[in-house]
Each structure stands twice: as C-alpha cells, then as structure tokens.
Structure 1
Amino acid sequence: MDDRKHPSGAPWRNFYGRFKGKTLRPSQHAYLAEDLAALSPGPVSWEDNPERHPLDPAAICGGRPLWLEIGFGGGEHLVHQAGLNPEVGLIGCEPFENGVAMTLGKLRQAEVGNVAIHPGDVRDLFDVLPDACIERAFLLYPDPWPKKRHHRRRFVTPEHLEPLARVLKPGAIFRVATDIPDYVRQTLQEVPRAGFEWLAEGPEDWRRPWADWTRTRYEQKALREGRTPHYMTFRRNPA
C-alpha cells in the first residue's frame, strides 16, 4: 500500500488520464466560470472537506433518487438521461476539463436542472458518499488501457469496484459499455467478485444497446473503426 500523502492530506492516488486537452474556447471558459460551482454535489475535494464529512444525498439535485455516471466524457449520455428522467438526479464525474466544459454547454442548451457535476476523480466522491445512496450507475466506454501491464489502471478493479458497491443500494443497476473484448473479459471477471450479478440471459443481452441508450462520441468512433460495442448490465447483490 502506498502511504504517501498529498499536502492537502489526501491519500496518494495515481491518476493516469489527462486533466486538460486542447485550449478551451471563450464560451467554454464562461461555462466553467459561471455554471460549474452551482452544479457541485457538495464539498468533495480534500481542500474543501479535509475531514471527509459525508455528503447529504437529500441536498443533491433537490432530494431526487440519485444515479451516477463515472467518466461522462463529452456529456452526451449524461444530458440525455437527465432529459429522459426529470424525476431522477444524476451525478456526473469527469476529471477531464474539456469534457466538463463541453457538458456544461450541453446542459445550458438542454435546460435540464437535475444534474450535479464533480470535475474530478470519482474515488474522491466515493470517500464522501454514504452507503447505499445511489440507485443506478453507468460506466460507458472507459479508458481501455490496452497494454496488459496497464490493466490495473482500469476502473474494473477492486480499488474502484469495492467503493462503488458500497455506495450502490442493494438491487441497484450498474451498466457497462465497452468496445474492447479484453475489457469485457475483465469486467465479467471482476464485477461479480465485487458483489454484482450479471443479468444477461443470452447473447442479444450484451449485443443490443439499452432501450434508453444514446450513442456517444466514443461509440461512434468505435463503429467507424470496426469495433463491436458490448452492453453489460449488472445488479448489486443484497447486502
């Protein structure tokens, strides 16, 4: 175990993705400056919440039942689900600033009011979410880390799945979409070990997208490049 600490007191967590990409447009800077703070689910960062006090789920998205999207990318799915399900509150986590800015623009255009945004590592959010407060979670086209020596960086490892299982209610649904066959293999190996049941009854259950699905930019790229999407649905086992 790595016992190093950040100056803030946070545990040392390696992060292997990007926080920033190409230069933001002026409008995207405005979204970040004007909209992001109001969409916070609460004090998540170690600087704002060094004692790691739990968030109050009833204070997020007006007390609606909560869903979680882990790594929402450009926000296509997050905004789509928010529009389809106004009775639900969606928490989106995404550390990549460009994706956050893009999503804030989509939220303005869609005029939905049931989304909270954490612009950072979902592990920090797991620290402050109470047990069994999330009713549905999504992991859609996560970074595949294709080299074998990098597979430990994938989300579908105990470091991420164990806290995810803790914050999900018994019976909660966890959806995973990927176009990488080896990510499918690791998902089907690791997610049941973390306390989930795979709900597929036949091949069509993982080849056919969900009825409320919307195609993301990552799926469009996969299809252009000849890769096959897989759609896996799991249910959190009773405690």
Structure 2
Amino acid sequence: MNDSMTAAPADNTPQNDETTPQPAERPYEHRELMSFVRRSSRLDKRLQKAWDNYAGTYLLDLPQVGGRELSVDPDFHFDRAFAERTWGNGNPLIVEIGTGQGENIVAAAQNNPETNFLALEVYRPGVAHALLKAGKYELSNLRVAEVNAPDLMKVCETGLLEEVWTFFPDPWPKTRHHKRRIVQDALAVDVHRALRRGGLWRIATDIEDYALHVHEVMDGRDDFENTGTITVSLPTEHVSKGTADTAASLPHADFSESERFDGRVLTNFEKKGIDAGRVIHDFAYRAK
C-alpha cells in the first residue's frame, strides 16, 4: 500500500430508510473487519479527465454484491478464461494489493511487457492516478480494479497468479487497530490458493511493528516458505502508536527477511520512510 492508505474518519453516510425496499440479505453479506476506511472519492479536473479517457480501457468492471461498495460477487469467477479475455493472452499475472498512485506497478508493466499486471486499489484518486499513468504509457499489459482485495482473492482460480505484491500497507499503528492490518491468516489462505505452486507473496513495510506482525502471521504457516536470507533483529512484543519509542528496550529475536526486491521502484512514499530513518523490511514467501 502507500501514503494514500491511511486511516480516515468514519463514513457518515445516512442509514437506509426503512421504507425503501432493500436487497435480500445473503449469507455472504458478512464481511471480515475491513483493512481500510473509505475517504472522499472526489476527483480534481485532471483526474476526472483521466478517468473519462482511460477507464473504458483499463478499469475492470467487476460484479458486486448489492449494497456493498467495493465488493466482488462471490459467484464471479476470476479465472484463466476471464484473464485471457481481459489481457488477450495467457501470460503470467501479477496482482498488486494497494497500488497507491500506481508508480510501482506501472513501472513494472513497462519493464516486463510479457507479464500481465492487475492493480487493486480502494481509493478513487489513486485508481485515477494509475489509469492516467497506464494511458500515458499506452500499457496493454496493465489493468486496474477499484475493489476490496480480499474479496477478489476469494474468487480467484487456484494457481492463477504468478505473484502477489503488498507493499507498504496501512500500518494501523494503534493497538486496538492491529486487527485491521491486511496481512492476516484469512488473506494468506486465499493468496496461497490463488498462487501457482512456487509463486511468491512479496510484502514490504517501513514499520518495525508491522514487520513483527508479518512474521507472526506468515512464518509458522506450512503452506508458505520464508525465502529470506537476511537476519533481522526485531522486538518480540508489539508496540502501539504512543509507545513505539519503547521498542528498543524490549526483548529482541532474530528473524529472516529478504533483500530489497529489485522489481520495486523507489516511490516517493518509500523515499520518505528512508529519509525519516525507518528501515525497509522486505519479505518473499513462496507458496508450497
């Protein structure tokens, strides 16, 4: 994810009028705790023009569940046939969860024309930025979807994806919000199913406490292998937004992490983290 994926005020949309007919409730209507809060979807003139010009080419129109914004209908099949119709070929497919303004995935699509890319983003201005860049470079191997990523992972065909990328997700720094972090057991199950055997889930964060969270979720799994070759010392206890400065005094342990992924460009967001003195933690988990 990125600097657009920060916590935001709760949605103040009025409640449904009881006199208005509502869609029948479905079992799927229950959704796990969301890893984002929707912000304003207003676009400035430049981004609105980009949307108008390029959405028809690059934006995937996926079926939703009635009344659930950014959902993906559980009866939809994100399968090989759909991918081949969408991209016009059967090339390997990489999905980025939380593409931000698209800097990374657009550069990857430019540098890897024989690979297909799908950018997932929940904030409309970020989606519009990705559309603008895709159109500017006339990329035929990139598509963008404005959806909740876990919803799409749930309907993804087994073994369809080459890699999944989750770079700089929202850290949700307050202790009571840690459960909203997108890297969770439930998503790991769906990502594993979607990946081909040997495919990679690449994760990066500049937040030390999130790095510990990733290790806790991923290192003990029997369906992924941590391919890291670098030893990193991390606190073994979690800190919160107000106690982060105590991390150095906590007990530490060694963990395995990966070299910086050279397929990830240095975005403005990552550069800000480095300039602020934060360490970038890279992970590459291989699906068994």
| Aligned ranges 1:50-199 → 2 under 5 Å | 50=73, 52-55=75-78, 56-63=82-89, 64-192=91-219, 193=221, 195-199=223-227
Relative distance call for 1:201 and 1:15 in structure 2 (3 A) is closer
**Alignment RMSD:** 2.4
Question: TM-score, normalising length from structure 1?
Answer: 0.87
Task: Flag structure 2 segments of 5+ consecutive residues without an equivalent.
Answer: 1-21, 233-255
- Greater mean alpha carbon deviation, residues 197-206 or residues 85-94: 197-206
Relative distance call for 1:194 and 1:29 in structure 2 (3 A) is farther
Q: Are 1:224 and 2:275 counterparts? A: yes
Task: Flag structure 1 segments of 5+ consecutive residues without an equivalent.
Answer: 1-5
Relative distance call for 1:51 and 1:67 in structure 2 (3 A) is closer
Residue type of the partner of 2:106?
V
Q: Are 1:24 and 2:43 counterparts? A: yes
Relative distance call for 1:22 and 1:227 in structure 2 (3 A) is farther
The Cα shift of 1:207 comes to: 6.7
SS in 2 for 1:116: strand
SS in 2 for 1:20: coil
Q: Deviations over 1:44-70 (max 9, x none)?
A: 423597561313232232222111100
Residue type of the partner of 1:61?
W
Name the structure 1 match of 2:58.
39
The answer (yes or no) to whether the contact 2:64–2:72 under 8 Å persists in 1 is yes
SS in 1 for 2:230: coil
- Greater mean alpha carbon deviation, residues 167-176 or residues 22-31: 22-31
The Cα shift of 1:17 comes to: 2.2
Name the structure 1 match of 2:29.
11
- The alignment-based identity, stated in percent, is 26
Aligned length: 232
Residue type of the partner of 2:87?
C
Counterpart-to-counterpart distance in 2, 1:182 and 1:223: 16
The answer (yes or no) to whether the contact 2:130–2:144 under 8 Å persists in 1 is no
Q: Deviations over 1:116-136 (max 9, x none)?
A: 111110122123221110011
Q: Are 1:200 and 2:200 counterparts? A: no
Question: TM-score, normalising length from structure 2?
Answer: 0.73
- Looking at secondary structure, tell me which structure has more helix per residue: 1
Counterpart-to-counterpart distance in 2, 1:27 and 1:134: 33
